[in-house]
């Protein structure tokens, strides 16, 4: 069995420097987010932009659902990598940041590929399932911090990031349980559900949720600190 490579600051810097060059509008989004203060934490890392680009370009993925879009960096990274006949549906309930994201999509000439839906995620998932929408990949960083742990967070996280983006208001598993229920009917055979997970025992609890669902492959992917922070599940 191979050993996971630990992503150090030096390696991440190398990846960012020598991977594909960011689109000018991606850079504009990053600069815009810098002006937002602590809430900029909701942006994905630049290395994740490279990862999304790579996974789309090296597969046959054409139809993607993103849940949680913020100002659009991850969605634009996906859209730029999709083929001309590919499309992305982006869900986020924040009307203000959705308007910002849509503006960036238009500036990058990717608005024809991206459909933005402003609605709570659970409502949107119900609507998409009813309309028999199917995807090759669903990606999300759902709120995973249990309500009882919210007061233990560092102040620069707890006081400045939206609570709905941090906690589901219960045990940190609500969104994963909902994904496990609806995703098998919404993802094409061989497609992937990619979710960020929490620290400590949270990944194990999430695995237990998906053990009961119609997936045949589950992989925990470590981050730069060798913590399992991303769960990839593949639909049978």
Ordered by where they begin, the domains of the chain are 9-235 (3.40.50.150)
Q: Which helix (H) or strand (E) holds 118?
A: strand 114-118
What average pLDDT score do residues 86-91 get? 97
Nearest-5° Cα angle at 48, 226 to 171: 65
Of 97-101, 112-116, 163-167, the poorest mean pLDDT is in: 163-167
Q: Indicate the Cα dihedral angle 28, 38, 166, 94, nearest 10°.
A: -50
Mean pLDDT, rounded, of the chain? 84
Average pLDDT over residues 152-167: 56
Q: Which pLDDT does position 3 carry in this prediction?
A: 40
pLDDT category of residue 19 using cuts at 50, 70 and 90: low
Task: Report the alpha-carbon distance of residue 233 to residue 95 in Å, rounded.
Answer: 30
Task: Output 31 or 228, whichever has higher pLDDT.
Answer: 31
Q: Which residue has the tokens 């839906």?
A: 117
pLDDT at 62: 97
- Please, which pLDDT band fits residue 11 given cuts at 50, 70 and 90? low
Residue 142 has pLDDT above 90, yes or no: no
- Answer whether residue 86 shows pLDDT above 60: yes
Nearest CA among 41, 43, 46, 69 for reference residue 158: 41
**Which SS3 state, helix, strand or coil, does residue 28 take?**
helix
How many angstroms separate the Cα of 96 from the Cα of each of 36, 154, 199? 13, 26, 30
What is the pLDDT averaged over residues 36-45?
A: 82
What's the pLDDT band for 198 if we cut at 50, 70, 90?
Answer: confident
Assign 169 a pLDDT band (cuts: 50, 70, 90): low
Which residues neighbour 187 within 8 Å (Cβ) at sequence distance 6 or greater? 134, 135, 136, 137, 138, 193, 235
pTM value is 0.86
């Amino acid at each position: 069995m191979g050993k996971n490579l630990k992503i150090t600051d030096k390696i991440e810097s190398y990846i960012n420097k020598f991977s594909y060059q960011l689109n000018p509008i991606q850079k504009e989004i990053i600069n815009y987010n810098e002006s937002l203060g602590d809430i900029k934490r909701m942006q994905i890392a630049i290395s994740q932009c490279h990862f999304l680009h790579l996974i789309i370009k090296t597969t046959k993925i054409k139809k993607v659902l993103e849940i949680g879009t913020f100002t659009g960096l991850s969605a634009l990274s996906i859209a730029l990598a999709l083929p001309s006949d590919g499309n992305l549906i982006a869900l986020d309930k924040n009307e203000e940041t959705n308007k910002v994201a849509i503006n960036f999509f238009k500036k990058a000439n990717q608005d024809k590929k991206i459909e933005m839906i402003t609605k709570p995620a659970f409502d949107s998932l119900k609507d998409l399932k009813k309309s028999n929408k199917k995807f090759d990949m669903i990606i999300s960083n759902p709120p995973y911090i249990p309500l009882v742990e919210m007061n233990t967070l560092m102040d620069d996280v707890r006081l400045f990031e939206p609570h709905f983006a941090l906690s589901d208001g219960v045990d940190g598993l609500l969104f994963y349980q909902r994904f496990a229920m609806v995703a098998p009917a919404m993802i094409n055979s061989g497609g992937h559900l990619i979710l960020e997970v929490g620290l400590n025992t949270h990944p194990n609890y999430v695995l237990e949720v998906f053990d009961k669902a119609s997936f045949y492959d589950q992989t925990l992917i470590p981050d730069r600190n060798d913590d399992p922070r991303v769960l990839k599940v593949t639909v049978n």
